[in-house]
């Protein structure tokens, strides 16, 4: 279990570095934009990644706390449940980053940027597959507490038409080395920090 939290910590530090690198790529495009539309477009993506950075910076000390205090990890502790839910939201954040990087690959066509962005998108794609496996394991160990509204991208929603999804993101093939022995189960029983949690466990969504 401890390994999962340590892995998440390394992943979040890695993606923080990615955010900084990506923001430094976007910055000159914002500053030298040819018109208001282009300026707003790059500003907008920059701002969303900066927000993800703010969230990660707030999350990491709590993660560190539970790495150091394994005895405090339990699914009756509000703070710990909230950490699990925040981690679940960062799963969406990684998927979103992947799309930001793929969008950037359409705009930054010179070899140097292509190379840098491709490396970042491949690292992010790997991390995204890994965080899904970790969350599955955390949900098994903590009564489904690591579910949060807003953590599942459109691409992976069963009730969304394929015409709205992007094929390359719909694959859930685990990377080599991941141990998934059974199909992913949706709609697990879960414990959440909502009004429902005042009344006990309930189904999510």
Contact status, residue 146 vs residue 88, Cβ threshold 8 Å = yes
Q: How remote is the C-alpha of 46 from its chain's centroid? A: 17
Distance between CA 87 and CA 135 in Å, rounded? Answer: 8
Residue 48 in the binding site for its own copies (CB under 8 A): yes
Q: Which two tokens stand for residue 42?
A: 């790059």
Residues in 92-111 that interact with its own copies by CB under 8 A: 92, 96, 99-100, 102-103, 106
Pseudo-torsion of CA 185, 187, 190, 196, nearest 10°? 180
Residue window 158-177: x/- pattern of binding to its own copies, with contact defined by CB under 8 A: -----xxxx-----------
Residue 40 in the binding site for its own copies (CB under 8 A): yes
In the bound state with its own copies, the residue whose beta carbon lies nearer, of 158 and 181, is 158
Distance between CA 15 and CA 57 in Å, rounded? Answer: 11
User: With CB under 8 A as the contact rule, which of the stretches 13-21, 53-61, 116-124, 125-133 interacts with its own copies?
Assistant: 53-61
Residue 44 in the binding site for its own copies (CB under 8 A): yes
Distance between CA 16 and CA 90 in Å, rounded? Answer: 12
Residues of this chain that interact with its own copies (CB under 8 A) are 27, 30-31, 36-37, 39-41, 43-44, 46-48, 50-52, 54-55, 57-59, 61-62, 64-65, 78-79, 82, 92, 96, 99-100, 102-103, 106, 148-150, 152-155, 163-166, 192-198, 205
């Amino acid at each position: 279990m401890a390994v999962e939290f340590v892995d998440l910590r390394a992943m979040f530090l890695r993606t923080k570095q990615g955010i900084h690198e990506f923001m430094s790529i976007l910055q000159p495009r914002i500053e030298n934009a040819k018109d208001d539309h282009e300026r707003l477009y790059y500003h907008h993506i920059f701002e969303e990644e900066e927000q993800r950075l703010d969230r990660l910076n707030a999350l990491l000390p709590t993660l560190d706390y539970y790495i150091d205090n394994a005895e405090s990890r339990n699914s009756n502790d509000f703070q710990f449940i909230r950490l699990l839910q925040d981690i679940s939201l960062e799963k969406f954040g990684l998927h979103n980053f992947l799309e930001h990087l793929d969008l950037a690959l359409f705009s930054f066509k010179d070899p140097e940027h292509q190379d840098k962005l491709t490396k970042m998108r491949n690292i992010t794609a790997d991390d995204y597959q890994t965080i899904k496996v970790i969350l599955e394991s955390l949900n098994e160990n903590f009564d489904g507490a690591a579910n949060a509204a807003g953590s599942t991208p459109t691409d992976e929603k069963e009730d969304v038409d394929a015409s709205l999804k992007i094929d390359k993101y719909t694959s859930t093939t685990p990377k080599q080395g991941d141990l998934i022995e059974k199909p992913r189960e949706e709609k697990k029983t879960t414990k959440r920090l909502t009004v429902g949690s005042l009344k006990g466990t309930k189904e999510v969504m």
